[in-house]
Amino acid sequence: MVNQQFSKSIATLPLLILFVLGALLAIATELPYGGWIQIPILALVWWRLDLNHSRNIQSHFVAGLVFGIGYFVIGLWWLYISLHDVGGMHPLLSCAAVLLLSAYMALYFSIATLSISLFKKTRVTGLLLGASWVVMEFLRGYIFTGFPWMGLAESQINGPFAPIAPLFGGLACTFLVTWISWELTQLKKRTAFSVAVIICAIGIVQMTGFMSFTKPFGEPISVRLIQGNFEQTLKFNPQAIGQQIDFYTSEIKKESADLIIIPETAFPWPQNNLPAGLLNNLQDFSNASSSNILLGLIGEVSSNNGMQYSNRASGLSPNVPAYQYDKAHLVPFGEFIPPGFHWFIKAFNVPLSDFARGSLEQEPFSIVRKNQASVRAAMTICYEDVFGGELAARIQHSKEPVNLLINMTNLAWFGQSQAPTQQLRLSQLRSLETGLPALRATNTGITSVLGPDGKLLQSLPEFTQASLSTQVQAYAGKTPYVIWGNFPILSISCLLLIWGLIRQRRF
């Protein structure tokens, strides 16, 4: 009996190691050089999984799943705050929801790692692993509307492979991280070859960083980003709603600027029910001060079931019709209810959780300026900036050139967690992919200005009520990624996997 228990303990030890490695990988992404640190950690994961190559596929699948769960539980724990602290869901149900989502996300990691055992070990195993990872990451961002949060790519903002993003996007960063981390595990077997591969890959990618695809456009624009720092629990309190509307209205009128932005749902009330004359009053201010204003509010659109709410950015510009952008990529359970899950929303107890979906082909917002060409900004609301391919396609197919990215966000749902820094890295990756500067207006943080290379130029401290006033240089042009999207890296990955399967059958 004792021997059986000891054997079970030994059998579960490798799974525990993989869980810890997954957790360490998630923690590493938050560190200053996280993009570098994640590579040796991944190498340890591949080494651990490779030791199990003689075991059956089911065992290997479980091992990859445990690694993924460790990674996502640590990386997405902040969802518990929105479910329990804000939504009022029972603690056990909130924990279960985070664990189930983490397990679902981990499935993609687990399937990708199967390439280690499915393909015979050769010098191209790392390439096949990278290709598998790219395909599964793409699917993770597509199936069931997608949730590609906490990918490997955004950590490369602080790593060696970020410069490849303007050429082939974040998935190319993922490919390189996976491939090179595998080569680290092969240093003992074929030292010269693996060292050459690692040095050449990092060196070539770093040299691409000297390439520039966009250039400054016109004179810098003056910008004001207003951070209200209102708790999420106040968003549905009628008295607090009035205070928020008064605060943002007063802050907007304090000082003119070419562009003034308040956060997502900063006016947390349906547009038609806002105080009488409020929008007209702000339009008058826009006309008089030559300020362009972007307001985060609740829109209303007609649908087959009558009127439906939308998560909207409403733009006011001097002496031109109002602009509106309705969020297109909605958050499952937070902004729309998947079929068969209305019971979950009732347990979550949050109003306005079934929004109308905006079109993916909405035009950019034009920032009107006196005696100068307008600057056009591609809009995203909240986690829409996770979907780099969608944003690139919108910029590529826009009737007018896009010069700037704007993201309006409210992360008060997630309290004092790493969610704001995670989304900041995603925004940085989007700027790098498109070669365009970005403005982030948030409720609790991180309100910031990003350069066309993804670098953080200015920001406000989190959980403070403040305004960021600055000058921002718009840019013109398109990166190869904007033109091609994910097609090149997906094509390369699929061809590698097809070649690997053919080669496997021959030998």
Residue 215's Cα: distance from chain center in Å?
A: 25
DSSP string, 345-396: HHHHT-SS-SPPPPPTTPPPEEEEETTEEEEEEEEEEGGGGG-HHHHHHHHH
327: annotated active-site residue: yes
Return d(Cα 425, Cα 75) in angstroms, integer.
Answer: 14
For residue 251, indicate whether it is catalytic.
no
- Residues 251, 264, 335, 384: which is the catalytic one? 264
Question: Active-site residue among 137, 235, 251, 327?
Answer: 327
From the list 39, 102, 45, 104, the residue with the least C-alpha distance to 74 is 102
Spatial CB neighbours of 446, under 8 Å, sequence gap ≥ 6: 420, 421, 423, 424, 440, 459, 460, 462
**Active-site residue, 370 included:** no
**How much helix, strand and coil, in percent to the nearest 5, is found in the chain?**
50, 15, 30
**3-class secondary-structure state, position 458:** strand
Q: Measure the CA angle with vertex 395, ends 389 and 399; round to 5°.
A: 145
Token code pair at residue 103:
């397990």
240 is written with which tokens?
């607090």
Considering the candidates 235, 335, 382, 433, report the single residue annotated as catalytic: 382
- Give the span between the Cα atoms of 459 and 441, in whole angstroms: 10
SS3 318: coil
* Rounded-to-integer distance, Cα 212 and Cα 214, Å: 6
Of the candidates 69, 263, 254, 72, the one whose C-alpha atom is nearest the C-alpha of residue 150 is 72
Q: Which residues contact 45 (CB under 8 A, 6 or more apart)?
A: 18, 21, 22, 25, 67, 113
Q: Distance between CA atoms of 438 and 474, rounded to whole angstroms?
A: 9
Strand residues in 382-493 grouped as ranges (E): 404-409, 438-442, 448-450, 456-459, 466-472, 475-476
Q: How far is Cα 111 from Cα 67, in angstroms, rounded to an integer?
A: 12
Q: Would you name the residues annotated as active-site residues?
A: 264, 327, 382
